[in-house]
Amino acid sequence: MMIYEEIKKLFLEEFQQEPMLVRSSGRVNLIGEHVDYNGGFVLPAAIDKSAYVAIAPAESQIGKWISMDLKKKTEVDFGVFKPLADHRWANYILGVVEQFAKRGLSVKPFHCVMSGDVPIGSGLSSSAALESAIAFGINEMNNLGLDRTALAQLVQQAENEFIGVKCGIMDMFASLRGKENHVLRLDCETLDYQYFPLSLGDCKIVLFDTGVKHNLVDSEYNVRRSQCEEGLAFFRKKFDNAVQNLSQVPLAWLQASRSQLNPVVYNRCQYVIEENQRILSACEDLQAGRLEDFGIKMTATHEGLRHLYEVSCQELDFLVDELWHESAVLGSRMMGGGFGGCTINIIKMEAIDGLFAKLSTRYEQKMGKKLKMYSVVTANGTEIING
């Protein structure tokens, strides 16, 4: 049975009512890491791993929410938006509901059942996928008329304010606006976006999952964000108050500031400024079919994330280092927030199985953990399923 059929079945059993079924994808990001909240460019794609939600109006103020995967159930009073300490999963939904209310948009209380196949804590944005599915469902069910960009902004704010991760807009934007066979280049300052066909020839995108679960709420993610803000405030004061974000800061300003900036903040800024330049030329490589050059830039991104931005971990570094010299691997780097999760790799198809066998043995020997591999393809953005 497909996941959406399972949640529908459970919904019908619990509520004897026909639900709306919504699917929303997780994402990969080819290049442009930790630049979304710095107003830079990112290059994500929605993938064929999704969150699924069955949703329908409740008859009273009380909604019943069920997580099929966690085997948990909770009741929610729509008059109160208090985080639920014993049901952290439900907070992802509550945060979204609260944002509609904050915009003065009235949301009918609802029941919902959710499930999905985006691995949790692996850096594939399972939470953004769930929040995007819920936001989309609420918007449809209540005829609120928000477009996908407005929904992405709403979901980002829910994460920022209710969950407490000061994330950028990349994950939810990709989940809501992804397009099959394409990557999306998003300017995170203006929210202008453009689709690029993703043609990988005889290569595939492969993810290796370290098995180190990352939870950005408890990580140094928010610390990185404030270090970047410190850098931006410095450049504004010293050079030009009109500069809007760190990605726009010229490298020359940074270089002229070495003695005045805190060395850690300096490194963070160097990474962001370089990464934003890297992604623009990487997009040209992709368009021109220069996959080898694109791959070299991915690897440079990893080096920056590891040494300057310091969001990698030994497991991620091990996986990247092991593949560095393999001729069948065009590019390899950690992906997403970091501190665990997956590496993203572009690998020649015929070499994938052999490499995985070798890599997983080495990984288990060195790290004492099982390595998982996901081969992903791109998918469309959030949609209603007629199931």
Q: Which residues contact 104 (CB under 8 A, 6 or more apart)?
A: none
Regarding 336 and contact with ligand GLA (CB under 6 A), the answer is yes
Tokens (6 digits) for 315: 């497991």
As measured in angstroms, the least distance from the Cβ of 265 to ligand GLA is: 18
Candidate list 11, 37, 41, 173; residue touching ligand GLA; CB under 6 A: 37
Q: Which of 316, 335, 329, 317 is nearest to 356 (CA)?
A: 329
Which range binds ligand GLA by CB under 6 A, 61-69, 146-154, 165-173, 345-353? 165-173
Regarding 168 and contact with ligand GLA (CB under 6 A), the answer is yes
Which range binds ligand GLA by CB under 6 A, 7-15, 29-37, 135-143, 255-263? 29-37
Regarding 337 and contact with ligand GLA (CB under 6 A), the answer is yes
As measured in angstroms, the least distance from the Cβ of 143 to ligand GLA is: 29
Q: Give, to the nearest 10 degrees, the angle between helix 148-158 and helix 170-177.
A: 150
Identified catalytic residue from 69, 147, 171, 202: 171
How many other CB atoms sit within 10 Å of the CB of residue 122? 24
- The answer to whether residues 132 and 152 touch, using CB atoms and an 8 Å cutoff, is yes
CA–CA dist 323, 42 (Å, integer): 24
Say how many Å lie between the first and final Cα of the chain, rounded: 12
CA–CA dist 118, 50 (Å, integer): 5
Question: Which residues make beta-bridge pairs with 186?
Answer: 42, 193
CA–CA dist 186, 39 (Å, integer): 10
Tokens (6 digits) for 253: 């300003």
Residue ranges in 53-72 that form contacts with ligand GLA under rule CB under 6 A: none
Clarify whether 240 is annotated catalytic: no
Residue ranges in 121-140 that form contacts with ligand GLA under rule CB under 6 A: 125
Which range binds ligand GLA by CB under 6 A, 31-39, 227-235, 321-329, 349-357? 31-39
**With respect to ligand GLA, which residue has the nearer C-beta, 7 or 279?**
279
CA–CA dist 160, 147 (Å, integer): 20
- Phi and psi at 373, nearest 5°, equal -125, 135
As measured in angstroms, the least distance from the Cβ of 170 to ligand GLA is: 5
As measured in angstroms, the least distance from the Cβ of 188 to ligand GLA is: 9
Which range binds ligand GLA by CB under 6 A, 163-171, 201-209, 255-263, 293-301? 163-171
Candidate list 15, 20, 21, 34; residue touching ligand GLA; CB under 6 A: 34
CA–CA dist 376, 182 (Å, integer): 13
As measured in angstroms, the least distance from the Cβ of 33 to ligand GLA is: 4
Q: Which of 384, 381, 371 is nearest to 345 (CA)?
A: 371
As measured in angstroms, the least distance from the Cβ of 129 to ligand GLA is: 12
Which residues of the shown chain bind ligand GLA in the complex (CB under 6 A)? 33-34, 36-37, 125, 167-168, 170-171, 336-337
Enzyme catalytic residues:
171
